[in-house]
Structure 1
Amino acid sequence: MNPFVLSIVTLISKNFKELQNFLKSISFSKAVRIGIAVTLPIVTGIQLGHLEIGLALGLGAFWSSPSDVSGSVRHKEIGILFSAALVMAASFMGGYLHYETWLSLPVLGVLSFAIAFISVYGFRASLISFSGLLALVLSLGHKAEEMEIYQFAALLGVGGLWYLFLTKIWHGINPKAETEEFLTETYKLTAEFLETRGKLVDPHEDHEKLRSKLLDLQSELTENHETLREILILSRKTSGMSNYQDKRLLIFAQLVEMLETAIANPVNYDRMDALFNAHPQYVNRFQDVIFEMSHQLQLISEAGNDKKNLPTNDKIRQCFEDVRLEIASLRETENYEEYLMLQNFLEYQEKQFTKLKRIKWLLGDPNTMEIDFIDRKVAKRFVALQEYDPVLLVRNFSLKSTIFRHSFRLAVTVMFGYALGSLFPFQNPHWILLTVVVILRPSYGLTKSRAKDRFIGTLIGGAIASGIVFLIHDPYVYGAMGVASLIIALSLVQKNNKASAIFITLSVVFIYAIIQTDVLSVIKFRILDTLVGAGLSYAAMLWLWPTWEFVEINESIQKSVKANKDFLHKIIDFYQRKGNLPTSYNIARKEAFLETSNLNSAFQRMAQEPKSKQRKTDKNYELVVLNHTFLASLASLSIYIQYHKTTEASDRFKIAAKKIEENLGQVLQCLKDKKCDGAEASSNSDPIFKEQLDKLRKLQTRNMASADKENIRELQETHLVWEQLQWLFSTSNHMLKLAASVKRK
Structure 2
Amino acid sequence: MIAKIRNFTDSTYFTNALKVTIAAVLPVLLFSFLGHFQTGFTIALGAFFTYPSDIPSSLKHKINGILVTAFLVAGVNLVVNIVYPLHWFFYPFLALLIFFLSMISVYGQRATMVSFSALLTFSLAFAHIHSGLEMLQYSGLLLVGGLFYLLISLLFYYISPHRYAELQIASCISLTSKYLKLRGDLWKIDADKKTIIDKQLHLQVALNTIHQNIRKVLLGNQSTVAASAQNRKVLIVFIALVEILELALSTAFDHDKLHQKFDAHPKVLVTYQNLAYNLASTLKKIAKSVENRTKYTYKHSLLQDLNALEQAILEYENNLGKIEASEGVFMLTTMLEYAEKQVEKIKIVEKAFSLKIKESDFKGKDKDLEKFLKPQYYPISTLIENFSFSSTLFRHSLRLTLTILIGFVIGQLLPFQNIYWILLTIIVIMRPGYGLTKERSYQRTFGTILGGLIAFGIILLVHNSILISLFAIISMLLGFSFTHINYRISATFVTMYIVFIYGILTPNIGDVIQYRILDTIVGSLLASMSNYFFWPSWEFMNIPIFLEKSIQANRNYLQEISLFYNQKGTVSTTYKLARKNAFIEIGNLMASIQRMVQEPKSKQKLVPQVYKLAVLNHTLLSSMASMGTYIQSHKTTSASEAFNAVVNTVLKNLEEAVAILKEENTEKSTENPVKEDIAKRFTELKNIRFKELKEGNTSTDAAFLLKMQEAQLVIEQLVWLTNLSENILKNTKAVMET
Instruction: Answer whether TM exceeds 0.5 for this pair.
Output: yes
- Corresponding residue number in structure 2 for 1:742: 735
Match of 1:51 among 23, 29, 37: 37
Contact residue 557 and residue 599 of structure 1 kept, 8 A: yes
Tell me whether 1:626 sits opposite 2:612 in the alignment.
Answer: no
Distance (whole Å) between structure 1 residues aligned to residue 479 and residue 737 of structure 2: 44
- Corresponding residue number in structure 2 for 1:224: 210
- How high is the TM-score relative to the length of structure 2? 0.95
Tell me, what secondary structure is at the counterpart of 1:521?
Answer: helix
- The runs of 5 or more residues in structure 2 that have no matched partner are none
Larger mean CA deviation between 507-516 and 358-367 belongs to 358-367
Distance (whole Å) between structure 2 residues aligned to residue 167 and residue 105 of structure 1: 37
- Corresponding residue number in structure 1 for 2:458: 468
**CA displacement 1:318-353 (0-9 Å, x = unmatched):** 221111111122333223222211211221111111
- Corresponding residue number in structure 2 for 1:335: 325
Give the superposition deviation at 1:56.
Answer: 1.9
Distance (whole Å) between structure 1 residues aligned to residue 251 and residue 176 of structure 2: 16
Contact residue 52 and residue 146 of structure 1 kept, 8 A: no
Q: Which amino acid aligns with 2:717?
A: Q
Contact residue 649 and residue 671 of structure 2 kept, 8 A: no
Contact residue 266 and residue 720 of structure 1 kept, 8 A: no
Match of 1:722 among 694, 715, 738: 715
Tell me whether 1:505 sits opposite 2:495 in the alignment.
Answer: yes
Q: Which amino acid aligns with 2:590?
A: N
Match of 1:701 among 690, 704, 711: 690
- Corresponding residue number in structure 2 for 1:687: 676
Q: Which amino acid aligns with 1:329?
A: E
Q: Which amino acid aligns with 1:509?
A: V
Mapping 1:526-537, distance limit 5 Å: 526-537=516-527
- Corresponding residue number in structure 1 for 2:183: 197
Distance (whole Å) between structure 2 residues aligned to residue 314 and residue 407 of structure 1: 54
Match of 1:121 among 82, 107, 111: 107
Larger mean CA deviation between 696-705 and 321-330 belongs to 696-705
Mapping 1:258-277, distance limit 5 Å: 258-277=244-263
- Corresponding residue number in structure 2 for 1:109: 95
Give the superposition deviation at 1:240.
Answer: 10
Distance (whole Å) between structure 2 residues aligned to residue 232 and residue 175 of structure 1: 12
Contact residue 105 and residue 418 of structure 1 kept, 8 A: no
- Corresponding residue number in structure 2 for 1:8: none
- Corresponding residue number in structure 2 for 1:713: 706
Give the superposition deviation at 1:236.
Answer: 5.8
Tell me whether 1:589 sits opposite 2:583 in the alignment.
Answer: no
- The runs of 5 or more residues in structure 1 that have no matched partner are 1-14
Match of 2:56 among 43, 63, 70: 70
Distance (whole Å) between structure 2 residues aligned to residue 607 and residue 387 of structure 1: 34
Distance (whole Å) between structure 2 residues aligned to residue 93 and residue 18 of structure 1: 46
Contact residue 202 and residue 273 of structure 1 kept, 8 A: no
Give the superposition deviation at 1:508.
Answer: 0.6
User: How many residues end up aligned between the 2 structures?
Assistant: 730
Match of 2:165 among 159, 175, 179: 179
Distance (whole Å) between structure 1 residues aligned to residue 124 and residue 312 of structure 2: 70
Distance (whole Å) between structure 2 residues aligned to residue 383 and residue 108 of structure 1: 36
- Corresponding residue number in structure 1 for 2:513: 523
Tell me whether 1:34 sits opposite 2:20 in the alignment.
Answer: yes
Contact residue 236 and residue 365 of structure 2 kept, 8 A: no
**CA displacement 1:722-741 (0-9 Å, x = unmatched):** 11111011100000001111
Distance (whole Å) between structure 1 residues aligned to residue 693 and residue 148 of structure 2: 73
Contact residue 57 and residue 216 of structure 2 kept, 8 A: yes
Contact residue 642 and residue 674 of structure 2 kept, 8 A: no
Cα distance change on mapping 1:417 and 1:314 into 2, 3 Å: closer
Tell me whether 1:658 sits opposite 2:648 in the alignment.
Answer: yes
Tell me, what secondary structure is at the counterpart of 2:473?
Answer: helix
Cα distance change on mapping 1:305 and 1:498 into 2, 3 Å: closer
Match of 2:307 among 317, 321, 328: 321
Identity of aligned pairs, percent? 35
Contact residue 167 and residue 290 of structure 2 kept, 8 A: no
Distance (whole Å) between structure 1 residues aligned to residue 53 and residue 21 of structure 2: 16
Distance (whole Å) between structure 1 residues aligned to residue 684 and residue 22 of structure 2: 73
**CA displacement 1:48-104 (0-9 Å, x = unmatched):** 222232222111111011011122222221111111121111111222454487864
Match of 1:558 among 548, 551, 561: 548
Give the superposition deviation at 1:272.
Answer: 3.5
Give the superposition deviation at 1:396.
Answer: 0.7
Cα distance change on mapping 1:266 and 1:714 into 2, 3 Å: farther
Match of 1:399 among 389, 393, 410: 389
- Corresponding residue number in structure 2 for 1:607: 597
Cα distance change on mapping 1:719 and 1:238 into 2, 3 Å: closer
- How high is the TM-score relative to the length of structure 1? 0.94
Distance (whole Å) between structure 1 residues aligned to residue 128 and residue 265 of structure 2: 74
Larger mean CA deviation between 319-328 and 363-372 belongs to 363-372
Q: Which amino acid aligns with 2:151?
A: F
Give the superposition deviation at 1:146.
Answer: 11
Tell me whether 1:92 sits opposite 2:78 in the alignment.
Answer: yes
Distance (whole Å) between structure 1 residues aligned to residue 64 and residue 24 of structure 2: 20
**CA displacement 1:697-741 (0-9 Å, x = unmatched):** 434533467551221111111111111111011100000001111
Q: Which amino acid aligns with 2:713?
A: L
- Corresponding residue number in structure 2 for 1:6: none
Distance (whole Å) between structure 1 residues aligned to residue 162 and residue 493 of structure 2: 29
- Corresponding residue number in structure 2 for 1:350: 340
Larger mean CA deviation between 505-514 and 264-273 belongs to 264-273
Larger mean CA deviation between 364-373 and 228-237 belongs to 364-373
Distance (whole Å) between structure 2 residues aligned to residue 326 and residue 506 of structure 1: 62
Give the superposition deviation at 1:690.
Answer: 4.2
Tell me whether 1:163 sits opposite 2:149 in the alignment.
Answer: yes
